């Protein structure tokens, strides 16, 4: 079945360490997104990519980095510069290209806890 796979599901990190969250999709979608979810808040956009080898900052990009070397992969690195990284991270994708049928398909999420 097509979908989005995020890994790991749970991750613990010590302060000062960088960690990378994986996101892989087999939907042949062009656009991919990373969102951060905190209790009681809506999803906030970290980074997005409309096409391979191109990505843009979202609303809360500071302390995060991404790459888009392959269409199906969009890993997110949470760097030590991110002041409050403990959160639930969601990866999503859309077909892209301005299609009127664009809806976001989400992965199952990764929960990062900084000790």
- The β-bridge partners of 105 are 93
Q: Which stretch binds another protein (CB under 8 A): 14-22, 68-76, 77-85, 100-108?
A: 100-108
The closest of 93, 100, 102 to 74, measured between CA atoms, is 93
98: left (phi over 0), alpha (psi -120 to 50) or beta: left
Q: Does 59 bind another protein (CB under 8 A)?
A: yes
Among 90, 93, 112, 114, binds another protein (CB under 8 A): 90
Residue whose entry in the numeric block shows the structure tokens 């077909």: 95
Query: Minimum CB separation from another protein for residue 20, in Å?
Result: 19
Rounded to whole angstroms, the Cα distance separating 46 from 58 reads 5
User: Whose Cβ is closer to another protein: residue 75's or residue 80's?
Assistant: 75
> Which residues of the shown chain bind another protein in the complex (CB under 8 A)?
4, 6, 31, 33, 40-45, 50, 58-59, 88, 90, 92, 94, 96, 98, 100-109, 111
């Amino acid at each position: 079945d097509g979908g989005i796979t995020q890994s790991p599901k749970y991750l613990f990190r010590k302060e000062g360490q960088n960690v990378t969250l994986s996101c892989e999709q087999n939907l042949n979608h062009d656009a991919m997104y990373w969102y951060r979810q905190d209790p009681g808040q809506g999803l906030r956009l970290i980074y997005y990519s409309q096409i391979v080898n191109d990505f843009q900052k979202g609303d809360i990009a500071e302390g995060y980095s991404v790459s888009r070397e392959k269409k199906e992969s969009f890993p997110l690195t949470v760097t030590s510069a991110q002041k409050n990284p403990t959160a639930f991270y969601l990866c999503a994708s859309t077909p892209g290209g301005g299609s009127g049928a664009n809806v976001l398909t989400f992965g199952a999420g990764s929960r990062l806890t900084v000790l």
